Amino acid sequence: MRLLAGLTGSDVPAAVAVAGRALSAEALLAAATAVADDVHGAATVAVDATPTLETVVAVTGALLSGAAVVPVPADAGPAERDHILRDSGAVLVLGRDVPVDVRRRSATAYAPPAGDDTALVMYTSGTTGAPKGVVLTHAAVEAGVDAVAEAWDWTADDRLVHGLPLFHVHGLILGVLGALRRGSPLVHTGRPHPARYAAAGGTLYFGVPTVWSRVCAEPAAARALRRARLLVSGSAPLPVPVFERLSALSGHRPVERYGMTETLITVSSRAGGERRPGHVGVPVRGVRTRLTRDDGTEPPADGETIGELWVSGPMLLRRYHGSAEPPTDHGWFRTGDLATIGPDGWHRIVGRASTDLIKCGGFRIGAGEVEDALLTHPAVREAAVVGTPDADLGEAVTAFVVADGVGERDLIDFVAGHLSVHKRPRSVHFVDSLPRNAMGKVQKKRLML
């Protein structure tokens, strides 16, 4: 099939290795075809998406069969899991109802699916209710993978290394299907431990900010990545101090990119171009972007004025599962993310409109800017900023930080000395840790309870 084009005729010694277990391209295709034989005729198939070789074989096999694949998060609780299986209409679960044996082999030939056939139904995090199923076609996934491959100069000569979850866009669509489409060997480290990254010998590495922060905390591991070609960070904003430290230790200024489940990757810096701390680059091939104010007008592209980001391109979702409402407005998808766009087209993501735009005393403040300022303080290890109700200001800038040896007034004054005074936190709460999801994103709504 087209999405898995890199499997056919590949001569790499190990197409995929997960936590030390490997399959050649030929063996992977034969094992996946055996899975396709098991599920052929099923319209929708769920996969228990654990960080294992079985998950890679199961997803590949289900796609070969023509089924729509529903990755079930490995850390899903009973209620979330039941909702995903019930809502998606999956008729069976690979790894539970149908065992996956990577030693089995089959040579059955399957016709490639049509471009508008459903490839994946990916469930969102459900921060505003029950998770919603995002329906992605084969054509959308192919367009998304090909666009980032062009931006990152990703070829079959690369050796991709990552340890990301196999139920998100970053770890599964880019990190597995992307490698199979490009024909590049994949080494999944099981977990994204710095030592495993250092030992993997890759040319291309994927990570989220939490991964890169932990790599930087082990300088020997970071220095081992000097042999790589490209380090990519995504799924959440990479704090500027982490960007700079990773660059100093590894010799690589990381590529940052922006995307979401509904759109795949739409904006990225380039392998052969500039990489700016705190920015995610420019639109990838086939993508258009725009900003919109609350009143529907478009703010100036001055790099400072905040608006909600809208995107258009061939990698967008077809629809939400079970919904008849179109997910786009004349081809434009409203992301719910706040951004600025500079005169040169460079994008900076400020945060989510629902949690990261703080309207304080008549000012519109992006939480991400305040977080970046806090993180430059040597005592601060983590920071999250939200707006909390205030009778006088409307919303007050409120910070939650993980820090040692510093006081609330010190941090308030520190931010006031780096940014406009009105952007300073009005209060700072010291916590032992910030609540995060599997991809390392801070779950701000939990801080606001």
Q: Is 299 helix (H, G, I), strand (E, B) or coil?
A: coil
Q: How confident is the model at residue 10 (pLDDT cuts 50, 70, 90)?
A: very low
Q: Is 3.40.50.12780 the CATH classification of the domain at 2-191?
A: yes
What is the rounded CA–CA span in Å between residue 406 and residue 1? 57
Q: Is 2.30.38.10 the CATH classification of the domain at 255-352?
A: yes
Instruction: Please provide the average confidence, as pLDDT, over all residues in the chain.
Output: 90
357-447 is classed in which CATH architecture?
A: 2-Layer Sandwich (3.30)
What is the rounded CA–CA span in Å between residue 387 and residue 391? 12
pLDDT score for 127: 45
The 8 Å CB, 24+ separation contacts for 340-343 are 340/291, 340/302, 340/303, 340/304, 340/305, 340/306, 340/307, 341/289, 341/291, 341/301, 341/303, 342/301, 342/302, 342/303, 343/301, 343/302, 343/303
User: Is the whole model's pTM more than 0.85, yes or no?
Assistant: no
Look up tokens 């199923």; give the residue: 133
Give 177's strand partners: none
Q: Which residue has the higher pLDDT, 2 or 320?
A: 320
Mean pLDDT for 361-389 is 86
pLDDT per residue as tens digits for the range 194-252: 999 999 999 999 998 889 989 999 999 999 999 999 999 998 788 888 999 999 999 99
Domain ranges of the chain: 2-191, 255-352, 357-447
User: Judging by beta carbons within 10 Å of its beta carbon (0-12, 13-18, 19+), is residue 425 exposed, middle or buried?
Assistant: buried
